[in-house]
Structure 1
Amino acid sequence: MAIVITTEHLAAIAGKQTKLMPSLMEWINRLCPQYQIDSPQEYAHFLAQACHESDGFKTLQEYASGQAYEGRVDLGNSQVGDGVRFKGRGIFQTTGRANYLQLGIKKGRRDLFIHHPDYLEQAEYAVWSACEYWNSHHLNDAANHADNEVLKKKHHGEVIGVAPIEFISITINGGKNGMEQRKSFYIKARAVLGVL
């Protein structure tokens, strides 16, 4: 039977209710099952990452200005102002011109998010962009491993052994930023969603 995510679930994971939760909950329930994110275990991982990246479901835009991303070729930031224009947005904080462009291509409107980067702050696109990222990086595969399993992950040119939560966190963040908080949200999400 399909699980339905409620605002109570999100509030319990984050530790408090926020004004974004009702709209996020609506789009999580609409979109996640389309990407086969539909079991308590998969949702626990997905929501833990979203909770961290959105500061407890409080923001769909990175707090920093984005200036630090200026000139970052790895993010496709090739034009002056790209760092600020394409700073992190959505529940997974999509960052960089190249990623905004790819999302537009996936929507069938190449420059949709190039011309309207703030669209990723709308609940629908905020959740959809995270689902696209999750799916394109095959993160359900990692999410469905037992927590004590060791997965291989290439990180900074070195193959390391990591737990599934670490594998997913490094994939989404590109590093280990906020790892302890991500783990904490995951433990809460497992309890809230009744993961055995």
Structure 2
Amino acid sequence: MPHIITPDHLSAIAGKPTPLMPGLADWINQLCPTYEIDSPQEYSHFLAQACHETDHFKTLKEYASGKAYESRVDLGNNQLGDGVRFKGRGIFQTTGRANYLQLGIKKGRRDLFINKPELLEQPEYAVWSACEYWKTRNLNDIANHADDDILKKKYRGRVIDVSPIEFISITINGGYNGMADRKKFYEIAKNSLPMHK
């Protein structure tokens, strides 16, 4: 039986309700189970990351202008203005021309998000893009480890020991930004989503 996420769950994790929560909860319930994100453990990890990346479910668009991403070849930003045009959007803050292009290809419409980047600010696509990211990086497998397991992760050219929450956070963020917050949200999520025996 898939776990049903309510706006109250999101509010508990974030600390207070926001206008985005009902729409996000609706699409999380529709989309996450189709990506096998369906256990309390998986949801706890997924929602902890989403809570941090969306500033407590307050925004589906990065606050910064995106100028810092200009000419970032690793993000596929090879045209003038790409940094601003393809700044972080969605609940995991999809960033860069290459990632927007990949999502369009997944939808069968190659230039869908290239032509309309703001689509990723809609709850449906905001959640869907995060599910795609989660699946392509096999994060369910990591999420299902015990919290105190020590995992190996390649980080900046060397292999480091990390916990599952650190592994997922680094995968989504590329570093340690907001790690304390992500860990805090994860603990709250675990307590607000009753574990099924």
Indicate the SS of the match to 1:16: coil
2:100 corresponding residue in structure 1: 100
Indicate the SS of the match to 2:37: coil
1:147 corresponding residue in structure 2: 147
Deviation at 1:2, TM superposition (A): 1.7
Question: Is structure 2 residue 6 aligned with structure 1 residue 6?
Answer: yes
Indicate the SS of the match to 2:79: coil
Deviation at 1:194, TM superposition (A): 2.1
Task: For 2:194 and 2:48, locate their aligned partners in 1 and report how far apart those are by CA, in whole Å.
Answer: 14
Deviation at 1:195, TM superposition (A): 3.6
Q: How many residues align?
A: 196
Task: For 1:81 and 1:48, locate their aligned partners in 2 and report how far apart those are by CA, in whole Å.
Answer: 31
Counterpart residue type for residue 76 of structure 2: G
Counterpart residue type for residue 41 of structure 1: Q
What is the percent sequence identity of the aligned residues? 73
Query: Normalized against structure 1, the TM-score is what?
Result: 0.99
Question: Is structure 2 residue 24 aligned with structure 1 residue 17?
Answer: no
Counterpart residue type for residue 178 of structure 1: G
Counterpart residue type for residue 36 of structure 1: E
Indicate the SS of the match to 2:154: strand
Question: Is structure 2 residue 156 aligned with structure 1 residue 156?
Answer: yes
Task: For 1:103 and 1:36, locate their aligned partners in 2 and report how far apart those are by CA, in whole Å.
Answer: 19
- Give structure 1 regions of 4+ aligned residues with deviation exceeding 3 angstroms: none
1:121 corresponding residue in structure 2: 121
Counterpart residue type for residue 183 of structure 1: K
Task: For 1:174 and 1:194, locate their aligned partners in 2 and report how far apart those are by CA, in whole Å.
Answer: 30
Counterpart residue type for residue 4 of structure 2: V
Query: Normalized against structure 2, the TM-score is what?
Result: 0.99
2:175 corresponding residue in structure 1: 175
Counterpart residue type for residue 142 of structure 2: A
Indicate the SS of the match to 2:186: helix
For structure 1, the 5+ residue unaligned runs are: none
Structure 1 residues 75-115: Cα deviation after superposition (integer angstroms, max 9, x where no partner): 00000000000000000000000000000000000000000
Task: For 2:108 and 2:74, locate their aligned partners in 1 and report how far apart those are by CA, in whole Å.
Answer: 23
Counterpart residue type for residue 37 of structure 1: I
For structure 2, the 5+ residue unaligned runs are: none
1:42 corresponding residue in structure 2: 42
